[in-house]
Amino acid sequence: MPELPEVETVRRGLQPVLEGARIARVEARRPDLRFPFPEKFLERLTGKTITALGRRAKYLTMHLEGGPVLICHLGMSGSFRIETSDDGEMPDSSEMLGAFYLERSKSAAHDHVVFHIVSPEGARSRVTFNDPRRFGFMLFSEGAPDTHPMLAGLGVEPTGNALDGELLTSLLKGRKSPLKAALLDQRLIAGLGNIYVSEALWRAGLSPLREAGTIAKPGKKAKQRRDALAEAIRAVIADAIAAGGSSLRDYVQTDGSLGYFQHSFAVYDREGEPCSKHGCGGHIERIVQSGRSTFYCRTCQL
């Protein structure tokens, strides 16, 4: 499932086309995705100007003039494709291939929602949501997105200075669960997923099996550990966003190209390979925690 860096990459790809543009028309080619589309889905979108395109954790938020807010989730295989026309007129789909967007290995049969967009200058675009597994969804929030049940209760974002050692102390104090499991709890830190937690723990030199509360205890060593972890989390997310995310299985960017952070993985999916940390000498192992793969080096992650 796409994680925060992938969703942020999609947001940045869509932003120049959508923000400030008007939704001239919307096509919903089926009645539902993971959930049924909201009542009057097409009518409430048509004619609206998109004032902002945001992200909260792994959710995209499309703010519409006068409301509502459209909350989008990519699910396991969802992606957006942008098709644009330089002359202001949208050609037929058959004319678009190769000329206006990078062809991808996804069937048009899975193009479920199409937004017909007109920029303030009159340029026309199509933004298509493709989802073979139909695990994504689009729902309305009548108020601020954080009040919606899907977003209410989410923890702090891992992308800013708010996530520091002091905050980790308050979040993890007294927790006996494994450190990796605690970091995946969306009520504590929103948007962290399996891949980037594994990478951050390696950078910080902390075992995924360590009891989470141990880095929140008093003392210099615990402080060093939580400070290092906070820095590692922020850095790995920033590096992944800069690289366009990680393309594993279904994930692609809005122009059809692949993200490249998977080429920088230190531990994820590198079972049996030597640890790349200078002077370590250990090897990457794979274990299963809560039904999910964890990759780490037991030599340098303590």
Q: How far is residue 107's CA from residue 7's CA, in Å, rounded to a whole number?
A: 21
Q: How far is residue 41's CA from residue 34's CA, in Å, rounded to a whole number?
A: 15
Active site includes 277? no
Instruction: Give bridge partners of residue 126 from the DSSP assignment.
Output: 83, 116
By DSSP bridging, strand 59-64 and strand 50-56 are antiparallel
Q: How far is residue 180's CA from residue 185's CA, in Å, rounded to a whole number?
A: 9
**Residue of 48, 58, 203, 226 marked active site:** 58
Active site includes 221? no
Asked if 9 contacts 62 with a C-beta cutoff of 8 angstroms, the reply is no
**Residue of 106, 134, 217, 292 marked active site:** 292
Asked if 86 contacts 76 with a C-beta cutoff of 8 angstroms, the reply is no
Note the helical H segments in 248-301: none
Side chain identity, residue 41: F
Query: The tokens of 154 are what?
Result: 């989410």
Question: Is 110 marked as binding a ligand?
Answer: yes
**Residue of 3, 8, 83, 199 marked active site:** 3
Query: The tokens of 54 are what?
Result: 């945001």
Side chain identity, residue 46: T
Q: Residue 36 in 3-state DSSP?
A: strand
Asked if 228 contacts 204 with a C-beta cutoff of 8 angstroms, the reply is yes
Active site includes 81? no
Active site includes 55? no
Question: Is 63 marked as binding a ligand?
Answer: no
Any idea which residues carry the catalytic annotation? 2-3, 58, 292
Pick out the residues of the known binding site for DNA: 110, 133, 175
